[in-house]
Every structure is written in structure tokens, then in C-alpha cells.
Structure 1
Amino acid sequence: METDTVRKTPAPYGQACSNCVKTKCRCVVREVGVCERSKYFAHRKQFLGSTCGLARTLISDLRLDKPKEPSGCPSLGPYDKGTEEVRATEGNRALLTVFALCTNVSKTFGYDLMPWSSQCEEAYDQLTKSIECEGDVVLVSLARLARIAVCAMEVYRRASEDSNFAQHATMAIEPLKLALHNLRTSFSPVILQHPEVAIYELALLQSPTPLVSPSSNPHSIFAPRRVEYLLACLETCKACCDYTLAGDVRDISATSMLIFPYCLKIAYKLAVLKDVPGWDPAIATATVDTVQCLEQIAVIAENANAKYKEETGEDSVFGEAAVMLRATAPNWRVPTVEQEQTVGDVSAPAWNCDIGGDFSLTDFADDFWLSGPMNF
């Protein structure tokens, strides 16, 4: 009896491993979904960091970030051929999903949480060749876009640390624009005709008419391009704010929660930006009213809190958010000329330093392209 039991052990063991891999891969996708769609995003960076850590742990536990056939290390345990098919489907999706998630969070934390590896490259190639649904197409596109974002972050870091590199940052931006163009040409007509895609494409890719002409300044040849970038940035901020304010805050993604305050910060910075040839801060003031946006999102948060209170009988995090937003909105009002003379440099990081809460995302002191000599 014991001999028969031992003889039959490998079969159920292999089946159990296969089911375990499938379950954990789905857990990875669900964890990413929790991070992207959580309605209780109260701890901000701590929540993102812990979720990314959990997702990366599952990836490592499944050995998706390691070679398929290890070099015979006994500590790795038996190698189950039955898991190869699972790894080629759910595993590839899970690996690329976690990479895209970690890339988005890396832009907030300032360092790489999950670098691109040969396993990611292999998963990308396999998933590209075996598209099974529309979600695979979106995931492959997100992975490519995440790789471009990683390169853009590296340019940002180098420019922030090296002033000489910052003066020639435009040369590093052109290859990124080419990569975005190549990605765009690979999209299907259905994706390109999507309304949200069209909005961002208009804001990012359409160049405004130059407002200034070259002068004797050695950097004047970059002045028109600089104004184009600033206008495109302003239009993108407006599109992001409009998108957030048009939806229900209960269904907003974690990524949008990060982007919305950052866009308000950039719009405010553009509204008080001085000494840039050809740039009129009044354009930013007329395009995005930061105070009005904060008041609108406060109303949306109050409505969401009321709906949750009807369902649960208790106030939610949105009630506290609405109070904080209303209290901080006046601090983001663009000052008049008289107020500027009294307060001083309103673009300095100390302008809103007395605001309570975690406002690290609204600190624009380290944005090399929005502060200093503007050497685009």
C-alpha cells in the first residue's frame, strides 16, 4: 500500500504545482488591479510600495524572473515540465503586468523597482507572438511604453544631477519621441480612434505655432521649441485634469490619483513661470484654474463619501480628503503682482510648505525642466 502511494505521488504533485502557478499568476494580476483600482488609497506611497513588493515577491516565488531551466542546483527543487505551458501564458502576462506597475511607481519613488531583464524580453516576445485576447494587445503596448518611460526617467535623473547634461537634454529626448512614434504606428485603428487616445495624442503630438524668434542669446534657437514643449505640457495637464474631474472618484485608478495633483502642480508652476522668452503665464492661468479644480474634486469626494455612507453607515476616506482639499485650495491661488512683491518668489518650494499632509508629489523644486535656466 505504501509503495503504491509513493508511486502515485509525482502525478498529483505535478498537477498541484501547475494549479499553484496558475493561482499565483492570477493573484499577481489581482494585486496589480488592487493597486490600480483601490477605493481606499489612504496611505499613498506606503500602499504603492507594499503592493509592488508583494507583486514582485510572487514573481520571484514563481521564478518568472529567473531562467526556465536552471543549471541543476539541488536547492531549486524538482523541475516540472508541466508548468511550461502555464508560464508561457499566465506567467508572461503576470511578469509584464508587474513590470508595467513597478515602472509607474518608480516614476514616483525615483528609483527602479524592477529593471527590464532577459526574462521580460522573452515574455514580451512570446506574448506578442501568441496574442489570445484584446487584453494581451494592451499589455504588450503597456510593456513597450513602460520601457520608454524607464529611458525617460534615466534622462530626467541625469539632467537633475548633471547641469551640463541638462543643457543638452533635447538630444536625448528626440530618440524617445522616435520610440513613441514607432509604438504609435504599431497600434490598430480601433485603439487609435479611441476618444481618450485621441485627446492625449492631440495634447502630446501636435506642435503649437512658435511665439518667439531667435535673438542674440546663444540659447535663443531653442526658445521656440521650449515654448512648444511648455504649451504641450500645459495642454496635457488640462486633459488629465478634465479626465479626472469628469469621472467618479470611486472608480479612479491609483495612477490617475498620482497624476492629477502632479498636473495641478505643473499648471501652477507654468502660471507663475517668469523670465522665459515668449512665454506668457496668463496662458496657463486661463487654461487651468488650480483652485477651481481642487474645489471640484472636493465636491466629487464629498459625493463619493455620501454614497459610501449610505451603504456602510460610516464616513470614508473621501470625507477627510474633501476637507483637506478645501482647506488647501486657497494656497494654490495664483498671486497678483502686488502679492508677488509682498510674498517674493511664489515659485519657490516654500510657497506651500505650511500645508498639512503628504505633498511630496507637489514639490517642484527638483524639476530641472521647470526650474533654473530652462536649457531646452
Structure 2
Amino acid sequence: MERVRPAAGYSSTYGQACMHCYKAKCRCVPSPRADSCERCHRLRKECLPSDSARRRNAHRSEESDTRIAQLEGRIEIMLSAMQSMAGSSGSSAEILRLLDEERIPLSTSRINDTPATSISTNPSISRVPKPATDPSPMVQARIDLSSPFPYSPSPPEPSLRHAEECLEFFRSQMLPYFPFINLIPDITAWQLHQNRPFLFQAILTVTTFSTQKRLARSEGLKRILFTSALLEVQSNIDLLLGLLTYLAWSTDAFLGRADLVSRLMMLAISLVYDMRLFKPLRLDTILMMTITQGQDYGGDQNPSDETVADFMERQRAVLACFVLSSNISSHLGRIDALRWTPQMEEALRIIETNTACLPDKAFAFQVRLQLLKQKAAHIREQNEIDRSRTSTASATTSMPGLLYLKTLREQLHGLISSFPPDIVQRGAFITHAHYVELYINQLAYSISCDSPPLNLSGPRSDGGHLPGFERLKCLWGSVESIKSWLDNFHKFSPSDLVGLPFHFWSQMILCVTILKYLSVLEDPAWNRQDVRNTVDLVAAIDLMIQKLDRVGIESSLQCDDSLFKLLSKLLSKCRVWAEARLSRASQMQDVEAGVNQGADPGETSQSSSIPDIDQMMWMQSMDLENDQWFEEALNLPSPFF
């Protein structure tokens, strides 16, 4: 049947264009001769009809129209349901259920320059959601995590329901232990993904407790960070908060990736500098940058556009960067902590007086604790400088540092007594305080370690203290601090341990290490048996192993490669060594004459002193998944064993 062409001068209707016009996506206008179109006549081409091809496409178009109509109908149903449930308490859960049933894909995109909703923890939440151990089970309702970024994470996107579980678990079980973000209770995963996409990705990563799955997700997080912070040279609060979240609950330091933690911490510090959170820019700097950049430098931070919530968010971020950099500096080395400034002191004062947000009091307490620890570390640095300037380190030159450390210890006790008793997770913060006291005591010991042994008949120093007695007092103070730390640790329920940040586990390992040294320390004035009677090393390790083994059971962690399994493995191997070493030390102590003759010179030299906590570099090489690391650490006379 011959195709009916429209009149000359009028475009062909849909499906009636010739083959050449159809392929070129051009308007097909029949020529007056009616045997071809004007375009084919002008180009001197044979005008061929395309009835068969267009009929197939028309059929596909009909199917698409039908599918679109079905989807529009479902969307109408969903909108009606959402409007009818608006204001009801169970609306969110019902909407999630309908989304899963209707299988409507949620495609979200990043909203640029949209201020985030103010974010505050709700520690009073009693319901403990199931931690996100396996993000692989998928439903059709998904959050498109790849839309804001050029690189998508390696693992599949989680369902909306799963994302809500991750957010709720982070908000109720993890954030209260380091409350540097103010997540309001009613913010949803979808809203957080829109306003803080990188922070949202970091939360999904730290709430994945399987080591292998977390590593896969962290690779995707690093690709996003590399693209945003380095290729696109972005500096914004979303990147900073997400990076701090990942660092706070990172497990990389225990998996042979301490160098990565240090590098990411340096990147976070650079973001703080670049966003001018560290200190305000000088006027001459602003003028010079404006001239060289050809624009108003810093104009994106107009104070008039900043809300109170935005201001508080930035203050918490810079203080969190200080706490994490200080912890990573002392536990892993390689970097220096963010320098404390008057602007940071003012930010801390603002956080302390913020009565509208109860978690801010706990966060300010954490910052004060870390500030005392950092001041003590500064004393160690000054003492090392003084020693390098003199050929011999006398007891007299150590006294100013010892007196200052004594002042810090008194300030610490005053801070602990002022901490509000009604703060949720108070035990975790007091545990941190005991570690800070251990740090100060060990530092005082290292300063006075060159003093002669305790001799009551010897001359007093200028400060009126016996150097040997001061050293002995520091050692016993360390024993008491470790005992207090362990007593608080035993009060944690296994489900509470899941949400603790990384520095808590570093503290646990370092407490066990120092207790090992104190239990076998060879010093004329030191009674090792009193240490064992006060804190038994083997018994303490046994209790920690039991607690860690119960974490996976009572917290419903559906994985066999969590950090808690690896820490339990580490402590189990430490127990075998500790039992043999303590038994041998007891036999040597019974035979006084054989202490120096029968002992290995290398072991004697190592057990006769205790290194600074900051100088235990074995933390940088720790890899709890590597059996070779365990073999080298157990067999070689390393600082750890």
C-alpha cells in the first residue's frame, strides 16, 4: 500500500518521515512534486520511506507510554499515602514499607550550596538498632549514592531501609562516645544524603563491621575524597565532617594501614586551615589573595549568611580535629597535633556553655582531657630539648617539668570531679580520663628515670623531693591508673563496646603493654609482686578476651572478621607470652643471685625501664590479620613484648 504523504509545505506526521530525515532527526517536508521530500531533493538523495522501522519504534513508544502511565499511577498512590499519613507517628515506617512494595527507585542528587539542617545527638534513645554488618541484601528502593560524585563506591548501594538502620545505629550507639556532630533525631538518611553526602558515605562505612566489607567500602570513600579534595580542590564542611567520622572509628591502624590514618589526618588538618577554622585570616593576607586571585578571597564565608547551627557545627569540627590529631600523634606518630590557639579556646568555651545541647558538655570534657594530655606531651618535648643541650641530665633539671606535670595531674582530678554525673556514657569519658592520668604518670617517670634509685639517706634536690621517690610514686600511680581503666572497661556491656572510637582500643592495648612492663620491671625499689597482687596481668587479659568474644554474640554482628575478633586474637597470643614471662620472672626473683647471671642481657635491659607511650612505634606496624606480624612481635625482643 502506497504511503500517503501530507500536502506540500507541511511536515510529515510521526512515523511518516523518510529514512534519511528519520536518521538525521530532521523535519521531513514533502516537495511539491510529491515523489520526495525537500531535504532529499536538495541533497539529491533517493527519498525512501521508513514505514517498517517507524512502526517498530511506534510500538515501542506505545509500550513506554504504558509503562510511564503505570509508574505515574503508582506515584499518585504514594503521594496520596504520604499526604494521608502526614503528621502521624508511624509515617516514616509506612512510607518505607510502601516504597519497598511499590519498588520505586529513588534517584537523589546533591543539592549544592544548601545549608545542612542542624545536627544533635539523642543519647536517650533506648532502642538499639541492629548494626550494619552486611549491606549486600538489596531491595528495589535504593539511594543512588553515585549521583553526587564521579566515582561510585565498590559495594552495591544500600536500600533506604538499610541506610536508615545505619544512620540510627551511628546516632544512638556510636556518636554519643565522641559527639562532635549534632544529628537531630528526626533527620532521615535521605535528607542527610542530600545535605551531607560525604558524611553519609562515611557513616555507612564505619557502621560496616566486617573487616573485608569495610575495606571495600573505604576504598570507594577514598576515591570520592581524592576526587573532591585533590582533583576538584574542594574544601567544605561536608568533606571535613565525613573525614573526621571515618578517622574517629577507623580500624586501619590495626590492619597495617597506620600510614593511611596519618595521611588522612593531615588532609583533615589541611581542610581546617583552608576553611579558616583554625584562625582568622590577617587583613594583609586577605588583600594579597584578593589581588592575586582576582576575586574576593574568603567571600564564601560571609558571617551574615551563617546560622547559629552552622557556626556551632564549625566549632565542633575544629575541636574534633584537635582531639583526633592529638590521639593519632601519640598513638601512631608521624604527625604533630593541631596547634592549640586562642580561637580554639574560645570555641571550647562556647561549646561548654551551650546548655541547649547536652552532648556538648560531654564533648567539651573530652576536649579538655585531650588538652591536658597535649600539654603533658609539650613538657616531654621540652625535656628532650633540655637533655640535648646538656651532656648529663641531672635530677635538678627535671624538677620544673615534674612540678608542671603535678599541676596537670591536679587539674585532671578537678576536671573529673566537675564532670556531670547525669551524662549518658559517662563511664567511657572517665575511662579516657584514667588513660590521660596514666600518660602523665608515665611521662613523669620518663623525666625522672635518670634519677638514682630510692635512697632515703641521700640528699634532697632543690625542690624538696627525693628523685627516686618521685619516680617510684609515678610508677605506682601508673598501676592505679591502669587498674581504674580496667575496672571501667569491665563495666561496659558487650553491646556498648561496638560503638567505641578507635582511640579507646589503642588505649586498651597500651594499658596492657605498660602493665606488662610494670609486672616485670627490675628496680631495687620496685616490688613486682605488689603489682601482680593489685592488677593480675593474665587475669585482666582473660576478662578482656571474654568481653570481646561476647560482643559478636550480644550485638548480633553477622561477621567473623570484625575488629573485636582480631583484638581477641591479639590478647590471646599476649596471654600465652605473659604467663610464661611472669612465671620465669617469679623464679628469677626467688633466687636473688641469679637475677643478673641467669637472665638474658637483652631482656634485662628491656625490663629495667619503661619507654614513653609516644615512643612505642610498634603501633605503626600492627597488622592483626597478618600472622607473620604476630610471629615477629612474639619472637623478637621488640618494645611490645
TM-score normalised by the chain length of structure 2: 0.45
2:299 pairs with 1:78? yes
Aligned to 2:64: none
Aligned to 2:639: 363
Q: Structure 1's 254 and 316: CA in aligned 2 closer, same or farther, altered over 3 A?
A: closer
Q: Structure 1's 51 and 38: CA in aligned 2 closer, same or farther, altered over 3 A?
A: same
Question: Amino acid of the residue matched to residue 575 of structure 2?
Answer: A
Q: CA deviation at 1:297?
A: 3.5
Match of 2:457, SS state, is coil
Whether the 8 Å CA contact 2:520–2:528 is kept in 1: the answer is: yes
Q: Structure 1's 240 and 51: CA in aligned 2 closer, same or farther, altered over 3 A?
A: farther
Q: Which has the higher contact order (CA 8 A, sep 6+)?
A: 1
Question: Amino acid of the residue matched to residue 505 of structure 2?
Answer: M
2:481 pairs with 1:258? no
Higher alpha-carbon deviation: 73-82 or 87-96: 73-82
Q: Structure 1's 223 and 190: CA in aligned 2 closer, same or farther, altered over 3 A?
A: farther
C-alpha separation between the residues in 2 aligned to 1:88 and 1:358? 47
C-alpha separation between the residues in 1 aligned to 2:374 and 2:348? 16
C-alpha separation between the residues in 2 aligned to 1:231 and 1:67? 45
Q: CA deviation at 1:150?
A: 1.5
Q: CA deviation at 1:310?
A: 6.8
Q: CA deviation at 1:89?
A: 1.4
For 1:65, which of 249, 254, 278 is the aligned residue? 278
Q: CA deviation at 1:267?
A: 1.4
For 2:600, which of 339, 343, 346 is the aligned residue? 343
Match of 1:336, SS state, is helix
Bigger Rg, which one: 2
Match of 2:378, SS state, is helix
TM-score normalised by the chain length of structure 1: 0.71
Aligned to 1:10: none
Q: Deviations over 1:250-277 (max 9, x none)?
A: 3443112111121112112222223343
Match of 1:241, SS state, is helix
Question: Amino acid of the residue matched to residue 402 of structure 2?
Answer: T
Question: Amino acid of the residue matched to residue 282 of structure 1?
Answer: Q
For 2:457, which of 215, 235, 239 is the aligned residue? 215
Aligned to 2:521: 273
Q: CA deviation at 1:105?
A: 1.8
Gaps of 5+ in 2: 1-111, 119-194, 197-235, 388-392, 439-453, 589-593, 609-617, 619-628
Q: Structure 1's 276 and 194: CA in aligned 2 closer, same or farther, altered over 3 A?
A: farther
For 1:116, which of 340, 356, 360 is the aligned residue? 340
Q: Structure 1's 291 and 187: CA in aligned 2 closer, same or farther, altered over 3 A?
A: closer
Whether the 8 Å CA contact 1:96–1:124 is kept in 2: the answer is: yes
Q: Structure 1's 68 and 91: CA in aligned 2 closer, same or farther, altered over 3 A?
A: farther
Q: Structure 1's 234 and 160: CA in aligned 2 closer, same or farther, altered over 3 A?
A: farther
Whether the 8 Å CA contact 2:521–2:607 is kept in 1: the answer is: no
Q: Which has the higher helix share?
A: 1
Whether the 8 Å CA contact 1:93–1:127 is kept in 2: the answer is: yes
Residues 1-376 of structure 1: matches in 2 within 5 Å?
A: 16=113, 18-19=115-116, 23=196, 24-25=236-237, 28-38=240-250, 41-43=254-256, 45-46=258-259, 48-67=261-280, 71-72=286-287, 73-74=289-290, 75=293, 76=297, 78-81=299-302, 82-85=304-307, 87-110=310-333, 112-160=336-384, 162=387, 163-164=393-394, 165-166=397-398, 169-180=401-412, 183-184=415-416, 187-188=419-420, 190=422, 214-216=456-458, 218=460, 221-247=466-492, 248=494, 249-277=497-525, 279-304=526-551, 311-312=558-559, 315-332=561-578, 333-334=581-582, 335-338=585-588, 341-344=598-601, 346=603, 348-349=605-606, 356=631, 363=639
Q: CA deviation at 1:101?
A: 1.6
Q: Structure 1's 358 and 26: CA in aligned 2 closer, same or farther, altered over 3 A?
A: farther
Higher alpha-carbon deviation: 244-253 or 133-142: 244-253
Q: Give the aligned CA root-mean-square deviation in angstroms.
A: 4.4
Aligned to 1:6: none
Q: Structure 1's 43 and 232: CA in aligned 2 closer, same or farther, altered over 3 A?
A: same
Q: Deviations over 1:48-72 (max 9, x none)?
A: 4244234324423433124168533
Q: CA deviation at 1:286?
A: 1.9
C-alpha separation between the residues in 2 aligned to 1:50 and 1:106? 11
Q: CA deviation at 1:139?
A: 2.5
C-alpha separation between the residues in 2 aligned to 1:39 and 1:227? 36
Whether the 8 Å CA contact 2:329–2:336 is kept in 1: the answer is: yes
C-alpha separation between the residues in 1 aligned to 2:269 and 2:633? 26
Q: CA deviation at 1:169?
A: 3.3
Q: Structure 1's 215 and 109: CA in aligned 2 closer, same or farther, altered over 3 A?
A: same
Q: CA deviation at 1:99?
A: 1.0
Aligned to 1:8: none
Whether the 8 Å CA contact 1:308–1:315 is kept in 2: the answer is: no
Aligned to 2:101: none
